[in-house]
Every structure is written in C-alpha cells, then in structure tokens.
Amino acid sequence: MIPIKELLIFALAAFGLVITPGPNMIYLISCSITQGRWAGFISLAGVVVGFLVHILLVSFGLTAVLFTIPYAYLILKSLGVCYLLYLAVQSVLPRGRGIFEIREDLKADKPGKLLSMGFLTSALNPKIAVFYLSFFPQFIKIENGSVLTQSLELGFTQMLVSFSINLLIVLTAAKVAEWFAKNPFWVRIQKWFMASVLSGLAIKMALDKGK
C-alpha cells in the first residue's frame, strides 16, 4: 500500500490535472450549460468509464516497463516534469482557454450519444495517458508491495478526485461561468494559481531521487 502522505501528494497532482483545461473539462462544461445538468451527469459517467481504460492499460503496462527497461523511471520522470511545465505555461498564455469558456455549438443529444461521447473524450484524451505514465512511477516503490496494486490504487485515487471536481463543475457550471464572465480579474487569478500549483509539482518531481 502507498503511504497516505504520498497518496495525498498524488491527489494534489491529480487535482492539478482536473482543473487544467482539456477535452474532458471543456466538453462537460459546454454540455452542462447548453443541454442541462442531466446531460452533464450522463457525459460524466462516460468520462469515468474512459478513465478505467487508462487505469487498466497503464497499470498492467507499468508492471512490465519498470522491471524490464533500464532508466525507465528517469525517462518517465523527465517526461512528467516537461509535461507539468507545459501545462503551467499553457494555463497563463493570453490565448489560453479558460476553464469556464464554453462552446455554444453543442446540440441536444440522446443519452446513448452523451455517454459514448463522454467515454471517447476521456479514453482518447492524451493528457490523461501522459499523466498516468509520467506520474505513476514517481509514487510507486517496490518496498510498498505489488506494482500492479499500487498502480490501481493511484488510478482510482485520480479517478475519485477527477469525478468529485467534475461533478461539482457539472452542478455549478452555468452559475460559475456567468460569475467568471462578470469578473475577468478572477479568471487571471485562477490561471496563475493553476500555473503555480503545476510548477511546484514539476519542481518536486525534478528533485525526487526516485526509489
């Protein structure tokens, strides 16, 4: 089992991921605002199922990679640092999309399509795959037991964090979007706060000496 302290740090990293604008976030917000909360709930269910695909693929894959490929940990850590810094920079770019900037072109869809679209948006989201591949090795240690078990533990932690935040966003999307539209100053604060969290995690990862 992974120590609770390490698991909490990973949960913070997962929080940094979920508040970073991406396909899942933008689709859920747009869907919730233009089609209603129930459409957002159904789409979120599809997103969660998509997470399961990533969790299983990465968990079983990492078990082999960490034991067979020399320097795999160092390579994946370097990718993770670069990825976090990239997200930090993207979050403060002048043309970067804010969390609550929505698409107005979404039409009403049937539940089956909402579910499948949520699933595909999540399952085909490279941001999630890169996050798993670059972050999991930082928190998996041989002395803590089975690599597979630890991978699954991290995966479900990330999924729980993402589901909780996305559920809150689905419930409050319309009101929060309206509030941010009226208060552009706080949009900038949100972007710089997000960049600071991501940069801090990147520094911690870079200084980590590994297992």
In the chain, the number of structural domains is: 1
pTM of the full predicted structure? Answer: 0.66
The CA distance from 157 to 135, in Å, is 13
- Structural domain boundaries enclosing 130: 4-89+97-137+144-207
Where is mean pLDDT largest: 83-87, 135-139, 193-197? 135-139
- Across the range 175-191, mean pLDDT stands at 69
92-111 tens-digit pLDDT: 776 555 545 544 554 567 88
Using CA atoms, how far residue 22 sits from 49, 86, 98, 100, 152, in Å, is 17, 13, 10, 11, 23
